[in-house]
Structure 1
Amino acid sequence: MSQSVVAKRYAQALFELAQTNGQTGAIQEDLLELKKVFQTNPELGQLLQSPRLKSAKKKELMADSFKGANQLILNTLFLMLDKKRIDEVVNLVNEFISYANDAAGIADAKVYSTRLLTVDESQAISTAFAKKIGKTALRIENIIDPSLLGGIRLQIGNIIYDSSVSAKLERLERDLIGS
């Protein structure tokens, strides 16, 4: 995740407001869309950082561009514009999601497999590994990796559980060569 102290502070403030107003889920969805916009249109970030454009015009542009967004998000964006921190929007979203996941007892996980996992398989993996890391559930992103040969590799943050056939073969090879 982000290492930005500024993004953490904005995210924490927005998260606390969202919790107070009972809008955490809706704000999280809006923020994910906002992140997509900023990532796919880097010109928008450059335009909003431009000293040629006045602050009032930037706010007007933001209000028009994100009409359907939650007012708390718009207010946060306006504040970030005023403080010249609009370049931290993507980091803010990442930090907000981290706070929301922690509060809900959810962790993001990447599962590498040779084929697409079924819903039941994903649920079983979520249930089994969530307990190991002290969470209630995992939000799984399934990534197809034919080099595994079979089995799965699970990554939760910087923890990796590897029960793939290729990893087992590599361990066996090391054991045989080391003997």
Structure 2
Amino acid sequence: MSNVAVANRYANALFQVAREKGILIQAIEELQAIKDVVQSTPSFSKFLENPKFTKDQKRAFIQSSFQGSVSSEVLNTLQILVDRKRTDILVPMIKKFVALSYEAQNIAEATVFSAKALTEEEKTQIAQVFAVKVGKAKLLINNVVNADLLGGLKIRIGDRIFDGSVKSQLDRLERQLVTGTR
């Protein structure tokens, strides 16, 4: 079985437990924090995947690192991944869990590319307008500054792209002028 399929199974199991216990939002926050730790500290993953250390040493490390800062459900999932030597799927499992949780709550993530950083008010307005367009209750905005856009916005929500950037408008105009169409 591929690592993606295994990660999906663990994510589904944790999702069901978190939903039953009513801790979806808490679990998302905890898992996002763990993902940040894993991605910003390569030695963390190297330790967990190193065969020189025993399962007990790895479990103790997980316990001391996260106990008190994450729920028992999340901590138990981490311990199971250590026991089954599946720590390599931690980040894909977290991504799948977050996707399942957002889907259950009718939430979507949007990446908004803009020429300058957006204010919180602008992010809120974009979230309100585009949530309706994609049929979601809420949009979580991640702003990426890209000076090449010159102005306007380019918004990616899932596999949909809304491009209202000045750069794309100038590119379209250039194509029309080159081909001679209006």
The offset of 1:157, in angstroms, is: 2.1
Correspondence for 1:166: 167
Separation in 1, partners of 2:92, 2:67? 22
The offset of 1:40, in angstroms, is: 1.3
Matching residue's letter, 2:65: S
- Identity of aligned pairs, percent? 37
The offset of 1:51, in angstroms, is: 1.8
TM-score, length basis structure 1: 0.93
Correspondence for 2:155: 154
Correspondence for 1:66: 66
RMSD: 1.4
The offset of 1:131, in angstroms, is: 2.0
Correspondence for 2:28: 28
What aligned pairs does 1:1-179 form with structure 2 within 5 A after superposition?
A: 4-68=4-68, 69-179=70-180
Separation in 1, partners of 2:4, 2:132? 30
Per-residue CA distance 1:137-179 (angstroms, 9 max, x = gap): 2100111222111111101122211111111011011011111
Per-residue CA distance 1:29-78 (angstroms, 9 max, x = gap): 11111111111112221211222211112111110111222111111111
Separation in 2, partners of 1:83, 1:99? 23
Separation in 2, partners of 1:149, 1:52? 53
Separation in 2, partners of 1:21, 1:65? 23
Task: Please state whether the residue corresponding to 1:7 is helix, strand or coil.
Answer: helix
What is the total number of aligned residue pairs between the two structures? Answer: 177
Separation in 1, partners of 2:86, 2:38? 14
Per-residue CA distance 1:83-140 (angstroms, 9 max, x = gap): 1111111111111110111011111111111222233322222122222222112100
Structure 2, unmatched stretches of 5+, are none
Matching residue's letter, 1:177: V
Between 1:113-122 and 1:45-54, the stretch displaced more is 113-122
Separation in 1, partners of 2:55, 2:121? 51
Task: Please state whether the residue corresponding to 1:52 is helix, strand or coil.
Answer: coil
Separation in 2, partners of 1:66, 1:120? 35
Task: Please state whether the residue corresponding to 1:153 is helix, strand or coil.
Answer: strand
Matching residue's letter, 1:65: S
Matching residue's letter, 1:17: V
